[in-house]
Structure 1
Amino acid sequence: MLAETVCSAASAAGLGIAVVTAYRKRFLSATRIAAYSLVPVALVMTGVVGWVSGIVFKPTVWAGFGLLGIAWMLFSVTRFVERRSEGGKGRGVEGAAGGDAIAPTASAPSLGAGRRSAPQAQPKAKGKGKAGGGEDFSDIEAILKKHGI
C-alpha cells in the first residue's frame, strides 16, 4: 500500500513538472518528462510494484541475497589464493593444460630450428646494434641542431 502511494505521488509530481515545462514552450522535453512520470503508475497497475515490495520486505529473500554474496566472496578468495600460491607457474588448470601440449611433436621442429639459429644471429645483431645506434643518435642530434634545440 505504501509503495503504491509513493509511486502515485512520484507520477503526479512528474506530470506537474511536465505541465510547467510545456508552459515554457519546451514541448519535446515536456512529453519526455510526462512519459517518464507515467511509468510508476503503470507499474502499480500491472502489479509489478506489489510483487517487488512483497519480495523486498521478506527476510528470507534478504538472507538469500546474503548467501549469494558469501558464495561470491568465497569464489573470489579461492581464485585469489590459487593465483598467489602458484607464483610464476601459470594459471590453475590453464597453466597445467598449457604445459602438456596436445600434439607435442607437432611444434618440435619449429622450436628446434628457432633455438639453433638464435645463438648464431645474436652476435651479429649485437655488432649491428651498436653501429646502428650511433648513426641514429647522430641523425637525431642533427635534427635537434637544425631546430635550434
Structure 2
Amino acid sequence: MNSKNFIKLWLPVILWAGVIYFFSSLQTNNLDAPFSLSDFIIKKNAHVFEFALLAVLFFRALYQSFKNKVFIKNAWLTFGFGILYAISDEFHQRFIFGRTSRLRDVVIDGVGILLALLFLKILMKYKDKYKRIYHFIFGK
C-alpha cells in the first residue's frame, strides 16, 4: 500500500479516534447537575454514534488495505478494535474531573459497533442499489 492510500484510509480512523479522545477529555461537573432523562438519552446516543462511525471507518480501512476480503474476519477485527478502544476510553475518563468510568458505556459503545457492522452487512447485500456508498466503503 502506498502512502497516499494509507493516508486516505487510515487518517480518518486516527482523526475520529482523536475526536472521541477529545470529547472524553472534557471536564464536567456532574455534582451540580440534576438528573435529566433527555440528557442521558442524548449522551448515550452520542456513544452509539461515535463508535458506530469509528467502526465503519476502521472496517473500511481494514477491508481496503489488505487482501483479506472475508467480511466476518474483518468484522471480528473491527469489533475487537472498537471494544478495546471503548475500554481505553473509559479508563481514560477515570482521570478526568467530573467524569466516570462505567462498564455500561463500553456495552453501549459495543452496541454502536454492532449496529455499524449490521449496516455494512446489509450494504453488501444491497450493493447494487447503494453503489456509491458501497464503493466508498468496500472499494471497487
Output the TM-score relative to the length of structure 1: 0.28
Greater length-normalized contact order (CA 8 Å, ≥ 6 residues apart): 2
Output the TM-score relative to the length of structure 2: 0.29
